[in-house]
A and B are shown apart, each in its own frame.
Chain A
């Protein structure tokens, strides 16, 4: 499970946008993330597993490990559906 090559995260105003460098950037289908989404993204981009990413979240936010892991898995599923994670 990893972020596909070419996909990067960029900050735009107070949001984060997932870009496909060299591909197509569609305003109509843009994936934007909030702070916590960006945290998960960066953890995955650093090569962490879902469990390790969840641990990183618990160090940044006051949430239980179970809740964090649930969020990470949900994020991964959505990114897979969007074709960003393989």
Chain B
């Protein structure tokens, strides 16, 4: 009776579920939120935002030509939010508030469900976002060495 369905096919009913006040949960795909969320292993619960979006929130949205994305807010502006995957060092273009589909409320790692409001998550998110510049510099240096070796 049970078989997999793509996210694109099911988006209309996810939308209906969220609008009704319910939640949706799924296993994440992709590596853009490493080390926090592991590809095809960790799970998230999402719901329609019922408060103002804040820095460090993880949100669910869709970009044309890219698909559905789950990334973290690194800046909130008057017109929208700027996001970045935890495994990325470049910010994305401004995303309007209306384009935000849902916000992550809970996540599951190693079979254990936790709230994004847990102390661990709060400390991790602040640390990770605010130390991005060091990872960016490190990657730049590594890339320079790689290029030199290749010559």
Q: Provided the pairs A21-B16, A25-B23, A26-B25 are in contact, do residues A12 and B9 lie with their beta carbons within 8 angstroms?
A: yes
Closest to A24 in B: B23
Minimal Cβ-Cβ distance residue in B for A21: B20
- With a cutoff of 8 Å between Cβ atoms, the chain B residues found around residue A49 in the complex are none
A 1-30 to B, binary, CB cutoff 8 A, 1 in contact else 0: 000000000101101010111111111111
**A-binding residues in B (CB < 8 A):** 1-3, 5-6, 9-10, 12-14, 16-17, 20-27, 43, 45
Chain B residues with CB below 8 A from A78, complex form: 1
Task: Tell me the complex Cα distance, A37–B45, Å.
Answer: 28
Q: What band does the interface of chain A fall in when counting residues whose beta carbon is under 8 Å from B?
A: 20 to 34
**CB contact between B2 and one of A10, A13, A25, A30 (< 8 Å): that residue:** A30
In the complex, the answer to whether A32 meets B25 with C-beta atoms within 8 Å is: no
A20 touches B22 (CB 8 A): yes
**Are A37 and B25 also in contact (CB < 8 A) when A25-B13, A25-B17 are?**
no
Chain A residues contacting B12 (CB-CB under 8 Å) are 10, 12
Instruction: Tell me the minimal C-beta distance from A14 to chain B in angstroms.
Output: 9
Contact at B24–A24, with CB atoms within 8 Å? yes
> B16–A37 contact, CB under 8 A?
no
CB-nearest residue of chain A relative to B5?
Answer: A12
Verify if A31 is at the interface (C-beta below 8 Å from B). yes
Is A85 part of the contact surface with B, judged by Cβ < 8 Å? no
The answer to whether B17 and A15 touch across the interface, beta carbons within 8 angstroms, is no
In the complex, which of the residues A19, A23, A24, A26 contacts B13, with contact meaning CB atoms closer than 8 Å? A19
> Within 8 Å of chain B (Cβ to Cβ): is A45?
no
Contact across chains for B22 and A22 when beta carbons are under 8 A apart: yes
